Amino acid sequence: MVKENTKVRNIPEDILLKLQKDVELIKTALLGNEYNPTGGLSFRTSELEKELEKLRNRYDKMIWTAAGAGATISFIVTTLGFILDKIL
Protein backbone atom coordinates (compact mmCIF):
# COMPACT_ATOMS: atom_id res chain seq x y z
CA MET A 1 0.00 0.00 0.00
CA VAL A 2 1.29 3.40 -0.94
CA LYS A 3 0.20 6.34 1.14
CA GLU A 4 -0.32 9.56 -0.69
CA ASN A 5 1.18 12.60 0.91
CA THR A 6 -1.59 15.16 0.89
CA LYS A 7 0.69 17.85 2.30
CA VAL A 8 2.84 17.89 -0.84
CA ARG A 9 -0.18 18.12 -3.10
CA ASN A 10 -1.44 21.18 -1.24
CA ILE A 11 1.76 23.21 -1.68
CA PRO A 12 1.38 25.96 -4.31
CA GLU A 13 3.44 25.61 -7.48
CA ASP A 14 5.36 28.86 -6.95
CA ILE A 15 6.62 27.70 -3.56
CA LEU A 16 7.77 24.38 -5.04
CA LEU A 17 9.59 26.27 -7.79
CA LYS A 18 11.29 28.50 -5.24
CA LEU A 19 12.32 25.46 -3.18
CA GLN A 20 13.70 23.79 -6.29
CA LYS A 21 15.81 26.86 -7.11
CA ASP A 22 17.03 27.09 -3.51
CA VAL A 23 18.07 23.43 -3.52
CA GLU A 24 19.91 23.99 -6.80
CA LEU A 25 21.76 26.99 -5.34
CA ILE A 26 22.73 25.01 -2.25
CA LYS A 27 23.97 22.13 -4.40
CA THR A 28 26.03 24.53 -6.51
CA ALA A 29 27.51 26.12 -3.40
CA LEU A 30 28.51 22.74 -1.99
CA LEU A 31 29.66 20.95 -5.13
CA GLY A 32 30.33 23.65 -7.72
CA ASN A 33 28.93 23.46 -11.23
CA GLU A 34 30.12 22.73 -14.77
CA TYR A 35 31.35 26.32 -15.20
CA ASN A 36 33.22 26.44 -11.89
CA PRO A 37 33.95 22.90 -10.63
CA THR A 38 36.57 24.17 -8.19
CA GLY A 39 34.17 26.64 -6.60
CA GLY A 40 32.26 24.22 -4.40
CA LEU A 41 32.67 24.07 -0.65
CA SER A 42 33.63 20.39 -0.71
CA PHE A 43 36.50 21.04 -3.16
CA ARG A 44 37.74 24.02 -1.17
CA THR A 45 37.59 22.03 2.07
CA SER A 46 39.63 19.18 0.60
CA GLU A 47 42.20 21.66 -0.73
CA LEU A 48 42.43 23.33 2.68
CA GLU A 49 42.91 19.95 4.37
CA LYS A 50 45.80 19.17 2.00
CA GLU A 51 47.38 22.56 2.70
CA LEU A 52 46.92 22.11 6.45
CA GLU A 53 48.68 18.74 6.28
CA LYS A 54 51.61 20.33 4.43
CA LEU A 55 51.85 23.06 7.06
CA ARG A 56 51.72 20.54 9.90
CA ASN A 57 54.54 18.53 8.32
CA ARG A 58 56.56 21.70 7.85
CA TYR A 59 55.94 22.72 11.47
CA ASP A 60 57.05 19.29 12.72
CA LYS A 61 60.24 19.51 10.66
CA MET A 62 60.97 22.96 12.07
CA ILE A 63 60.46 21.73 15.64
CA TRP A 64 62.76 18.74 15.13
CA THR A 65 65.38 20.92 13.44
CA ALA A 66 65.31 23.44 16.29
CA ALA A 67 65.53 20.66 18.88
CA GLY A 68 68.46 19.07 17.04
CA ALA A 69 70.26 22.38 16.66
CA GLY A 70 69.72 23.18 20.34
CA ALA A 71 71.03 19.79 21.41
CA THR A 72 74.08 20.13 19.15
CA ILE A 73 74.90 23.62 20.39
CA SER A 74 74.42 22.51 23.98
CA PHE A 75 76.77 19.56 23.43
CA ILE A 76 79.42 21.77 21.82
CA VAL A 77 79.25 24.40 24.58
CA THR A 78 79.39 21.74 27.31
CA THR A 79 82.35 20.01 25.64
CA LEU A 80 84.20 23.33 25.22
CA GLY A 81 83.49 24.19 28.84
CA PHE A 82 84.79 20.83 29.97
CA ILE A 83 87.97 21.18 27.85
CA LEU A 84 88.60 24.73 29.01
CA ASP A 85 88.06 23.68 32.62
CA LYS A 86 90.68 20.96 32.27
CA ILE A 87 93.19 23.25 30.52
CA LEU A 88 92.85 26.19 32.86
Inside any domain, residue 2: no
Beta strands in the chain (DSSP E): none
pLDDT reported for residue 80: 95
Query: What is the tally of structural domains in the chain?
Result: 1
Q: How many beta carbons lie within 10 A of that of residue 53, not counting itself?
A: 10
Inside any domain, residue 27: yes
Give the residue numbers spanning the domain of 79. Answer: 11-87
Inside any domain, residue 6: no
pLDDT reported for residue 2: 54
Whether pLDDT at 5 is above 70:
no
Query: What CA–CA distance (Å, rounded) separates 83 from 26?
Result: 72
pLDDT reported for residue 7: 64
Inside any domain, residue 40: yes
pLDDT reported for residue 11: 79
Cα–Cα nearest to 39, from 27, 49, 51: 27
Inside any domain, residue 45: yes
Query: What CA–CA distance (Å, rounded) separates 39 from 29?
Result: 7
User: How many residues belong to the chain?
Assistant: 88
pLDDT digits (tens, 9 = 90+) for 26-72: 988 888 887 777 778 888 888 999 999 999 999 999 999 999 999 99
Q: How many beta carbons lie within 10 A of that of residue 28, not counting itself?
A: 16
Inside any domain, residue 4: no
> How many helices and strands, by DSSP H and E, does the chain display?
3, 0
